[in-house]
Amino acid sequence: MKVFKWIRGKFTGILEAARRYPLTVGLLVILAAANAFAINDQFENYRNYITTLIVGACLGLVGQQVYERFFTRKRYRLLLLGGAFLLMLGYYWGIVRPATSASELSSKTSIAFLALLFVFIWIPTIRHRIHFNNSFMAAFKGLFTTILFTIIIIAGISAIIMAVDLLLFSVDYSTIPHMINVTLTLFAPIFFLSFIPLYQGGKGKEEKVKQATDVPKNLSVLLSYVIIPITVVYTFILVLYILLNIGGDLWTESLLESLLISFAITVLIVYVLASNIENKMTYYFQKIFPKILVPIVIFQTIASVMMIEEEGLTHGRYYVIMFGFFATIIGIIFSFFSKKIGLIAPILIIFAWISIVPPTDAFTISRVNHVNRLDQLLINHDMRANESIIADVEIPVKDQVEITNLVRYLDRMGYAEDVVWLPNNLFYSNRFEETFGFEPRDGIDQPERTERYFAYLEWNPSDSLSISQYDWMLHQQIDRDNEEQIEIQLSDQSGNSYTILREQENEFFWYRLKNSEEELLIEFDGEQLFDTIFDRNGSGQNRQTLSINDATIVHENEDVRMKFLIESISMHNDTYDAEFSIFIEFK
**Which of 450, 481, 503 represents a domain boundary (last residue)?**
450
Query: Is there a single domain that holds both residue 425 and residue 487?
Result: no
Q: Give me the domain span that covers residue 521.
A: 457-586
Listed ranges 6-10, 340-344, 482-486; the one with the highest mean pLDDT: 340-344
Q: Is the pLDDT of residue 346 over 60?
A: yes
Tens-digit pLDDT profile for residues 395-415 = 888 888 888 889 888 888 888
**Same-domain pairing of 114 and 204:** yes
CA 469 → CA 129, 300, 312, 474, 513, distances in Å?
Answer: 80, 66, 54, 15, 18
- Axis-axis angle for helices 362-380, 102-122 (nearest 10): 140
343: in domain: no
pLDDT digits (tens, 9 = 90+) for 56-106: 999 999 999 999 999 888 899 999 999 999 999 999 999 999 988 888 999
What tens digit of pLDDT does each residue of 165-196 get?
888 888 888 899 999 999 999 999 999 999 99
Asked if residue 290 lies in contact with residue 235, where contact means CB atoms within 8 angstroms, the answer is no
Residues 441, 494, single domain; the answer is no
Q: Does one domain contain both 522 and 402?
A: no
**Do 413 and 510 have their domain in common?**
no
Into how many domains does the chain fold?
Answer: 3
> Given pLDDT bands bounded at 50, 70 and 90, which one contains residue 135?
very high
Does residue 83 lie within any of the structural domains?
yes
> Residue 536: pLDDT band by 50, 70, 90 thresholds?
low
Q: What percent of the chain has pLDDT over 70?
A: 90
Same domain, residue pair 441 and 557: no
pLDDT band at 539 (very low <50, low <70, confident <90, very high): very low
Mean pLDDT of the 355-379 span: 92
Question: What pLDDT, on a 0 to 100 scale, did the predictor assign at position 261?
Answer: 84
Give every CB contact of residue 312 below 8 A, 6+ residues apart in sequence: 366, 369, 370, 373, 405, 406, 409
Residues 35 and 122 in one domain: yes
Q: In which band, very low, low, confident or very high, does the pLDDT at 202 lie, cut at 50, 70 and 90? A: low
The 3-class SS string of 168-230 reads: CCCCCCCHHHHHHHHHHHHHHHHHHHCCCCCCCCCHHHHHHHHHHHCCCHHHHHHHHHHHHHH
Same domain for 446 and 472, yes or no, is no
* Residue type at position 547: S
Same domain? 494 vs 404: no
Distance between CA 161 and CA 74 in Å, rounded?
44
CA atoms of 489 and 496, how far apart (whole Å): 11
165 with 138, same domain: the answer is yes
Confidence of residue 198 (pLDDT cuts 50, 70, 90): confident
pLDDT over 60 (residue 450): no
Helices of type H across 383-460? 397-412, 431-436
Q: Is 60 exceeded by the pLDDT of residue 115?
A: yes
Question: Which of 163, 194, 214 is the endpoint of a domain?
Answer: 214
133 in a structural domain:
yes
Q: What is the mean pLDDT of residues 345-370?
A: 93
User: Which has more pLDDT, 327 or 12?
Assistant: 327
From 189, 214, 239, give the residue that closes a domain.
214
Examine the pLDDT at 327 and tell me if it is beyond 50: yes
Indicate yes or no: pTM above 0.85: no
Task: Looking at the structure, tell me whether residues 378 and 498 fall in a common domain.
Answer: no
Going by pLDDT thresholds of 50, 70 and 90, the confidence category of residue 228 is: very high
CA–CA separation, 357 and 364 (whole Å)? 9
Query: Over the stretch 254-313, which tens digit does the pLDDT of each residue have?
Result: 666 777 788 888 899 999 999 988 888 989 999 999 999 899 888 888 888 888 877 788
- Domain co-membership, 44 together with 2: yes
